[in-house]
Amino acid sequence: MTASVSSAEPASPDAVLIRRTMAEIEPVADKVTSYFYALLFVQYPDLRALFPASMDTQRDRLFKALLTAAQHVDDADVLTAYLANLGRGHRKYGTQPDHYPAVGECLLSSLARYATSSWGPETQAAWVRAYTAISQIMIDAAAEDEAVAPAWWQAEVVSHELRTPDIAVVTVRPDQPYPFLAGQYTSVETPWWPRIWRHYSFASAPRSDGLLSFHVKAVPAGWVSNAMVHRARPGDVIRLGAPGGSMTIDHTTRSGLLCVGGGTGIAPIKALVEDVAEHGVRRPVEVFYGARSDQDLYDLDTMLRLEQTHPWLSVRPVVATGPAPRGGTSSETGQLPDAVRQYGPYREYDAYLSGPPGLIRSGVDALVGVGIPTDRIRHDSIEELVSAGD
Ligand SMILES: NC(=O)C1=CN([C@@H]2O[C@H](COP(=O)(O)OP(=O)(O)OC[C@H]3O[C@@H](n4cnc5c(N)ncnc54)[C@H](O)[C@@H]3O)[C@@H](O)[C@H]2O)C=CC1
């Protein structure tokens, strides 16, 4: 995602102006976003109903989206892919094309107020051009998506299994077919916290019965995660957004897969293993499954069963503290990235990383260290994982 920033192409005049504004407001991003939402809800009170009652996570999201768009303003391919996804994702909030000018007007007023050194007619014109282009891509992508997919899916909880005091495996039945790929995630809204959406990876490859499952850990002050773990019961209906994420398998190659899953990050890794199994092509899959302690390896039995069934699969449990875990090809005590470094090299492998943001960051270094080029390492966006942390 940093390609355009380090690219040798000189930045366009608009990009220079836009980045200058972003650099000026970055230290006061909190104030800018608070001012922006206050202005938006005063000028356009009808729009308030599209946002959650509590706006904490939302504030960060707007600024990060702006920053991403500003960084890639000269890279049409990256920008279009990012914004098209964002536009499709906004369908579940009920966003309509005529909301965009209202947001644009309040956004520019907020930037003008806080970027006093860099603001002027030229900068304003650059922002108008950029915002018009940004909103058009989002509007077009949403309209295209409308022809082929619902804005959201209703899904009834059909089973709820508490695996540890704070981790549940929740299985749901969507009200209409839900197409996705193993390794992807969706967004979830519970009936108890309207308009608060959080991302969860699918814990299984697509199933013939259409059911979807998630591994959810209740984290302190996590609204959605606590509701999913401690409140949701069979019969409750949640809402799902569209699938997203590129942690998927390239089935045109036979390279091996090195998968590193920490905590509930094992969910999409399990889905990837099932996906390889279903495709019937034998390719080596090595899974490192980490948790804080043996008791936290809540899905180890499932992973070991898969290992027994598939000779191409090896599962290595790793615990941060306490005695080495039971079972698996080998087991380790220590940090997950250190465990990976003891094996390899994995030069012909594609790598998949899933878990807490800190693990993703240090995991990438470890994977590079065992011979995997960065373009073959897949993981979900760290920014999204940080803001989806509850
Ligand atoms: N697609 C994805 O990337 C997914 C990410 N997650 C995320 O996974 C996390 C799961 O949380 P918990 O189960 O509480 O994880 P945790 O804090 O119990 O850690 C799980 C494993 O990651 C390791 N780890 C944690 N921080 C590390 C760091 N800074 N450096 C090296 N290793 C580190 C731990 O040693 C342990 O082996 C949540 O943040 C959730 O959002 C969950 C599902 C899918």
Phi, psi (degrees; rounded to nearest 5) at 249: -95, 135
Å from CA of 108 to ligand 1 middle: 38
Judged against a pLDDT cut of 70, whether residue 335 lies above it is answered with: yes
Helical spans, DSSP H, in 258-299: 266-279
Could you tell me what percent of the chain has a pLDDT over 70? 95
Residue whose Cα lies nearest atom 22 of ligand 1: it is 262
Residue 8 lies in a domain: no
34 and 124 assigned to the same domain: yes
185 and 270 assigned to the same domain: no
DSSP run (H or E) holding 225 = helix 223-226
Domain boundary (147, 167, 196) is at: 147
Could you give the 3-state DSSP secondary structure of residue 320? coil
Q: What is the dihedral of CA 327, 283, 245, 292, to 10 degrees?
A: 20
Q: Which residues line ligand 1 (CB under 6 A)?
A: 185, 201, 217, 262-265, 267-268, 290-292, 296, 320, 335-337, 354-356, 358-359, 362, 379-380, 385, 388-389
Residue whose Cα lies nearest atom 41 of ligand 1: it is 389
Confidence (pLDDT) at 386? 60
Å from CA of 2 to ligand 1 middle: 24
Residue 361 lies in a domain: yes
User: For a substitution probing ligand 1, which of 336, 365, 377, 381 has the most ligand atoms within 8 Å of its CB?
Assistant: 336
Report residue 1's pLDDT band, with 50, 70 and 90 as the boundaries: very low
Residue whose Cα lies nearest atom 7 of ligand 1: it is 355
232 and 349 assigned to the same domain: no
CATH of the domain at 263: 3.40.50.80
Å from CA of 353 to ligand 1 middle: 10
Å from CA of 330 to ligand 1 middle: 21
Could you give the 3-state DSSP secondary structure of residue 228? helix
Mean pLDDT to the nearest integer, 151-168? 98
290 and 200 assigned to the same domain: no
Å from CA of 292 to ligand 1 middle: 9
Domain boundary (215, 244, 273) is at: 244
Judged against a pLDDT cut of 90, whether residue 282 lies above it is answered with: no
198 and 115 assigned to the same domain: no
264 and 382 assigned to the same domain: yes
Q: Do 249 and 276 touch, CB atoms closer than 8 A?
A: yes
DSSP string, 54-119: --HHHHHHHHHHHHHHHHTTT-HHHHHHHHHHHHHHGGGGT--TTHHHHHHHHHHHHHHHH-TTT-
CA atoms within 13 Å, Cβ hemisphere of 283: 24
Tell me which of 2-6, 20-24, 120-124 is least confident: 2-6
353 and 261 assigned to the same domain: yes
Å from CA of 29 to ligand 1 middle: 28
235 and 274 assigned to the same domain: no
376 and 346 assigned to the same domain: yes
CATH of the domain at 208: 2.40.30.10
DSSP summary character for residue 171: E
132 and 87 assigned to the same domain: yes
Residue 352 lies in a domain: yes
Judged against a pLDDT cut of 70, whether residue 390 lies above it is answered with: no
Q: Do 63 and 33 touch, CB atoms closer than 8 A?
A: yes
Residue 134 lies in a domain: yes
DSSP run (H or E) holding 305 = helix 300-309
Mean pLDDT to the nearest integer, 277-306? 94
pLDDT digits (tens, 9 = 90+) for 239-279: 999 999 999 999 999 999 999 999 999 999 999 999 999 99
Report which ligand 1 atom has the smallest distance to the Cα of 355.
8
Residue 34 lies in a domain: yes
pLDDT digits (tens, 9 = 90+) for 76-118: 898 999 999 999 999 999 999 999 999 999 999 999 999 999 9
DSSP summary character for residue 299: T
126 and 23 assigned to the same domain: yes
- What is the spatial distance between Cα 89 and Cα 110, in angstroms, rounded to a whole number? 24
- What is the spatial distance between Cα 266 and Cα 389, in angstroms, rounded to a whole number? 16
Residue 251 lies in a domain: no
ipTM: 0.95
In which domain, by residue range, is 137 found? 13-147
- What is the spatial distance between Cα 274 and Cα 249, in angstroms, rounded to a whole number? 11
Residue 7 lies in a domain: no
DSSP summary character for residue 274: H
Instruction: Give Rg (Cα) of the chain.
Output: 22
Residue whose Cα lies nearest atom 8 of ligand 1: it is 355
Beta bridge partners of 332: 318
pLDDT digits (tens, 9 = 90+) for 197-247: 999 999 999 999 999 999 999 999 899 999 999 999 999 999 999 999 999
Enter the pTM of the model.
Answer: 0.90
Domain boundary (217, 244, 271) is at: 244
Å from CA of 254 to ligand 1 middle: 28
Report residue 46's pLDDT band, with 50, 70 and 90 as the boundaries: very high
Q: Which of 178, 277, 167, 154 is nearest to 214 (CA)?
A: 167
Confidence (pLDDT) at 250? 94
Residue 95 lies in a domain: yes
Å from CA of 92 to ligand 1 middle: 28
Report which ligand 1 atom has the smallest distance to the Cα of 379.
3
Place of tokens 């804080």: 292
Mean pLDDT to the nearest integer, 138-146? 97
- What is the spatial distance between Cα 390 and Cα 385, in angstroms, rounded to a whole number? 9
- What is the spatial distance between Cα 40 and Cα 295, in angstroms, rounded to a whole number? 48
276 and 232 assigned to the same domain: no
For the chain, what is the domain count? 3
E-assigned strand segments in the chain: 153-164, 167-174, 185-189, 197-201, 212-217, 237-240, 256-262, 285-291, 313-319, 332-333, 349-354, 377-378
CATH of the domain at 101: 1.10.490.10
